[in-house]
Structure 1
Amino acid sequence: MNRLLERARRLEAEIVAFRRDLHAHPELSFEEKETARKVASEIERLNVPYRTNVGGHGIVADLKGERDGPIVALRADMDALPIQEEADVPFASAKPGVMHACGHDAHTAMLLGAIKLLKEQPFPGTVRFLFQSAEEINAGAKAMIEDGALAGVSEIYGLHNLPTLSAGKLATCHGPMMGSVDRIELHIQGRGAHGAIPNEGIDPVVCASAIVMSLQSIISREVSPFDPVVVTIGSLHAGMANNVIPDTAVLTGTVRTFGKKVQATMKERIERIAGQIAEGYRCKASLRYIEQVPVLENHDEPMAFVDETIDRTIGKAGRIEAAPTLAGEDFSVYLRHVPGCFFWLGSGPKEHAERAYGLHHPKYRLNEDCLPIGSAILAAIAAERLKHLQTSEKDGR
């Protein structure tokens, strides 16, 4: 298995060059047309069958092994973020206000590297490569699935770079790893008035302020302290003038949980608190609650296999236990359909990675030493897992 890593390191210059090109030319969610064109060109050069425009600008490529067997999928996301880059690198984004601040350029380059490695690696069955649009807006995985990306797939695997973990390290987590993601949109209806004559109006701003504070009582007084929950109001928009009480206020926010049962209760709780507080302030509140992605929960057998594969490929010392996080990932949608596993790949500096700029920061910077490691790990997981699955099928298990 270490030979895969050796071969990946021989491909490092190619993987790095492709990643830098994508980094310099980022594209937002569902706008990844040029990124997809570059990916398709590489896949075509490798003579691997593929189809385009899957779930937006997504690409699905199938690499068949030496004989028939199951299908194992590997996934990378391609979209960038609406962030102005501040990282001092020669290949910084050439597009104002758009940046690969989450490293999806690296994920894409690593998955192409895995294709190159597996082209020379004997394995049974088929490895399916999913290059996905729109992870950042929690829409791409659903769109890929609706377009048949998981048809026939037995298991799926994916990774995400982590700049606060040193390159050369990987982190895995058994069970729930990342939080569910829901969006809330609250509309508060009041009645406008002159700011100097508040008694003639019904102030939605005061009402909205009370709602923001009271929503935190869900976490402190309604949910068990052993059930992680976050309710964050990220925007509050009301009015245009300093001396006018507006008619309405609009709040948007995010809800994160770590369990299906708790997630299922959050809409009612937010609706009840917002509605009753609004009534107390003589306003009316209406809630739009949008469930975006579920909890990302790794499956036991695939997770154990990933641990074993990492240990055999880079050594057990290179693997640590990942701390769960309420950050979300739409890979969780795939895991609701087929078994699989998601894990972290260190992409930070060799020393003091914990001090590095994190994901989504304008000064985010990826240590490219992680690229061949990611390609090798993905290729090793797919090839070895297919061998295991085929043996299990023969044994009737």
Structure 2
Amino acid sequence: MINQKIKKSITNNSEELTALRRKLHSEPELSFEEFKTTAFVCEYLDKLGISYRKTEPTGVIAEIIAVPGGKTVALRGDMDALAVEQLNKHVPYASKIDGKMHACGHDAHTSMLLIAAKALFEVKEELPGNVRFLFQPAEEIALGAQSMVDQGAMDGVDNVFGIHIWSQMPTHKVSCTPGPSFAAADIFKVKFKGKGGHGAIPEACIDAAIVASSFVMNVQTVVSRTIDPQSPAVLTVGKMVVGTRFNVIAENAEIEGTVRTFNPDTRDHIEKSITQYAESVAAIYGATAEVEYIRGTDTVDNDEESAKLVQQVAAEAFGSDVLFNEKPTMGAEDFSAFLAKAPGSFALVGSGNAEKDTEWSHHHGNFDIDEDALATGAELYAQYAWAYLNK
């Protein structure tokens, strides 16, 4: 199943792979602002001779067509950075832009996918099908994948595969289990309106601060008392804005939060319950409530056959001890938009190494990766495509 030419190509290009990642890391761009990154990817593909087209406003869809009309597998790597200040400025590839940083590993994903494309193009004549490369923008705002889908990224695709570098796993380890791996992620916003007035005359007012506080405390029981404990769910209130002055009773309060679930029925139940709780709490105090529930990314649900193929490919490429069983995370990933169009799977490749100080959480200003993991990811991309097309 493993192609030795691909393995050799990845090994021979490991230094270039690291150089690509360091260049991208030093020049981060935010979601839908990845214009230089898009241009860089296009220039690299031009040198390889791989055809591509740009998506709007950013992003690239490239393709190796070895068998016109044949089976097609898509490989996805995201490109955007975060509005995070880099704290580990001592590294030689530190961000050159204040307040922007590749704090999640997307620089690694893009560079790994470029080297995977290079390795697959070298065996183009042996490919029994086609490989599409999705250099995706705007994953961090959960809009890039759907944007690419809307622009034809998944047209004619039979299977899709993605990778995320994972600092919570040891370097080189690979995890890809069937079933949910990343949660569905939604946003809710609640506006309470009471009756403001002087802080010394509470009996003439309806205190929106009391209403909002009561809601925050009570809404937690949606999960703790109305959801099956074996159906994981998280409801977090992350923002509350209320009041204008120390001696003025608040008339308005605004709350924002997030809901994370794996089960669609649980998701529906929580959405309905948030509205019920908000309206009921408001009614107790004589206030009113306005609720907005925004559905974000869906669950990343790994297809069983695809996930098992990833495990088989990883074991044959790197040895069976590379396999790792990382538990599902309540984090979100818009890779789910691709899975809505074709079966596939999403793997985690470990990059955590205490000796290299690369175990920091994703999105932290000290985040970094053990660059030894880059070759693992690049080869996993390429070998998976080879294995899938040769099934």
TM score, norm. by length of structure 2:
0.95
Computed over aligned residues only, the root mean square deviation of the Cα atoms, in angstroms, reads: 1.6
2-structure distance, mates of 1:190, 1:43 = 59
1:379 aligns with 2:376: no
Question: CA–CA distance in 2 between the matches of 1:203 and 1:21?
Answer: 54
State the distance in 1 between where 2:235 and 2:11 align.
Answer: 43
Give the number of equivalent residue pairs. 386
Residue of structure 1 in register with 2:272 after alignment:
268
Aligned residue number for residue 395 of structure 1: none
Name the structure 1 match of 2:32: 30
State which of 359, 362, 386 in structure 2 corresponds to 1:359: 362
**In structure 1, what is the Cα distance between the partners aligned to 2:21 and 2:44?**
13
> Could you tell me whether the CA contact under 8 Å between 2:166 and 2:350 is conserved in 1?
yes
Tell me by how many angstroms 1:351 deviates: 6.0
Aligned residues of 1:72 and 1:127 also touching (Cα < 8 A): yes
Mapped partners of 1:47, 1:283: distance in 2 = 64
1:300 to 291, 296, 304: 304
Is 1:110 matched with 2:116?
Answer: no
Q: Distance in 1 between matches of 2:9 and 2:355?
A: 26
- Show CA shifts across 1:334-372 (max 9, x none): 11221000010011116698x921111111111111111
Opposite residue 36 of structure 2, the aligned amino acid is: E
Structure 1 residues without counterparts, runs of 5 or longer:
389-397
CA distance in 1, matches of 2:207, 2:361: 39
The 2-side partners of 1:154 and 1:350 are apart by 39
| Alignment pair present for 1:196 and 2:197 | no
Given residue 367 of structure 2, which amino acid in structure 1 is its aligned partner?
Answer: Y
The residue that corresponds to 1:69 in the other structure is: 70
Contact 2:55 2:148 in 1 (8 A): no
User: Corresponding residue for 1:147?
Assistant: 151
More divergent stretch after superposition (65-74 vs 339-348): 65-74
What letter corresponds to residue 208 of structure 2 in structure 1? P
Deviates further, 28-37 or 240-249 = 240-249
Contact 1:67 1:124 in 2 (8 A): no
Correspondence for 2:9: 7
Map 1:124-143 to 2 at 5 A.
Answer: 124-143=128-147
> Hey, which bits of structure 1, 4+ residues long, moved more than 3 A?
350-353
Percent identity among equivalent residues? Answer: 37
- Give the distance between the partners of 1:228 and 1:104, measured in 2 at CA: 28
User: Which piece of structure 1 moves more, 180-189 or 342-351?
Assistant: 342-351
Q: Extract unaligned runs of 5+ from structure 2.
A: none
User: Equivalents in 1 of 2:274, 2:337: separation in Å?
Assistant: 24
Alignment counterpart, residue 164 of structure 1, candidates 153, 168, 173: 168
Displacement of 1:194 after TM fit?
Answer: 2.2
Q: 1:201 offset after TM fit, Å?
A: 2.2
Alignment of 1:282-321 (within 5 A): 282-321=286-325
CA deviation after TM superposition for structure 1 residue 302, in Å: 0.8
CA distance in 2: counterparts of 1:20 and 1:198, whole angstroms: 60
| Residue of structure 2 aligned with 1:47, choices 46, 49, 60 | 49
Contact 1:260-1:294 at 8 Å conserved across structures: no
Residues 10-19 or 235-244, more deviating: 235-244
Shift of 1:199: 2.5
Distance 1:120 1:191, change over 3 A: same
- Per-residue CA deviations over 1:28-73 (Å, capped at 9, x if unaligned) read 111111111111111111111111124x311100112266521100
* Offset, 1:137: 1.0
Shift of 1:197: 2.6
TM-score (norm: length of structure 1): 0.94
